[in-house]
Amino acid sequence: MIALTEIEQEIVSYVHGMAPSQQDEVLAFVRSLATTPVGVPGKELLGFAGAFSLDELVVLQEAIEADCEQVNHDEW
């Protein structure tokens, strides 16, 4: 038999007290944590350096500031 750590024991005790549907949610969450990509090393992104001109970057920044900082309360 495998000995559980203190944290694992606490997790198991919480899961035991949950409804099966909640246990399914916990399992899905744990699986998502185990499969979440870590990211990309910066060296791999260097190939994108210079892909946009300064003028294109200004246009992108203006679009982000104009559209992404607004909340449409009727949207939801």
pLDDT for 3-49, tens place per residue? 889 999 999 999 999 999 999 999 999 998 888 777 888 899 999 99
Nearest alpha carbon to residue 49 among 37, 57, 60, 38: 57
User: What is the value of pTM for the model shown?
Assistant: 0.46
Q: Residue 68: is it exposed, middle or buried by C-beta count within 10 angstroms (0-12/13-18/19+)?
A: exposed
Q: pLDDT band at 76, cuts 50/70/90?
A: low
Q: pLDDT band at 2, cuts 50/70/90?
A: confident
Nearest alpha carbon to residue 55 among 44, 63, 43, 66: 63
Q: What is the gyration radius of the CA atoms in the chain, in angstroms?
A: 23
Instruction: With beta carbons less than 8 A apart as the criterion, state whether 31 and 39 touch.
Output: no
